[in-house]
Amino acid sequence: MSSDRHTRRVGDDYADALANLLPTGPAWPRDQDGVLMRLQAGLAEVWGGKVDPRAADLLEREADPRVTFELLPDWERAFGLPDACVDEPLTIGDRQRALVERMTTEGGQSRPFFIELAARLGYTIRIREFAPFMCGISQCGDTRPTGAAGEDYRWEIGPEEMRFYWTARIDRARLAWFRTGAGGGQVGVDPHLQIGIASDLECLFQRFKPAHTRILFDYSGLGDEGPLAGTP
């Protein structure tokens, strides 16, 4: 959270300030028990008890996208959220994190970028790239370690177009549990648990992938990490 803090003032502070703005003279006594000062103190409580705290909340909390609550819909509208790639119900914390990510993500085309993007969504992936075997360049048995997600870069027999394809292997199924409350599930209609593909991950990858490439999503090694994995 930002270290900038709004100087909060109470009713007495506003009462002193208003008193200093009054004219001087016998008609404007400063007796604290007098009618004028008591009236002014009562009016000052509106500023010190309501207006000032609200202004402080807006300046300290709502101006920070990491903790904004009341102005969260306005922040989201300004940055094109909610993301069309994510169709599941989100908590306030999820929405705040998505906002900060939208504001700070710079993009990329490397393996680490896509692996980190998947991790932020809760997935562990393995990326495999393809390269056609080329005479004079490739060697039989030649394997070049990349150090990314434990994958290797291998020469393969096949058409040269394979270099434009890459595979993202998803580690687990997407679990969507029944939720109660506003925006949640409907009893008798929605199931307790839905198991599906990583549609949010696929959508984002298609958005950020290099334009000349195509992604193959591999679900052959799916696991569910236990019967209650991902329970809210």
pTM equals 0.58
Give residue 114's pLDDT.
93
Query: What does the pLDDT average to over 205-215?
Result: 93
CB 76 within 8 A of CB 83: no
Give residue 1's pLDDT.
46
Give residue 18's pLDDT.
85
**How many helices, marked H, and strands, marked E, lie in the chain?**
7, 7
Give residue 229's pLDDT.
55
Q: Which of 64-73, 118-127, 139-148, 188-197 has the highest mean pLDDT?
A: 64-73
Give residue 152's pLDDT.
52
Check residue 5 and report its DSSP letter: -
Percent of the chain with pLDDT over 70: 80
- Burial pattern 198-231, b for ≥16 Cβ within 10 A else e, equals bebbeebbeeeeeeeeebeeeeeeeeeeeeeeee
pLDDT score of 232 more than 60 = no
Give residue 177's pLDDT.
74
- What are the pLDDT digits (tens) for 70-106? 899 999 999 999 888 887 667 787 788 889 888 988 8
Percent of the chain with pLDDT over 90: 16
Give the residue from 170, 165, 155, 169 showing the smallest Cα distance to 129.
165
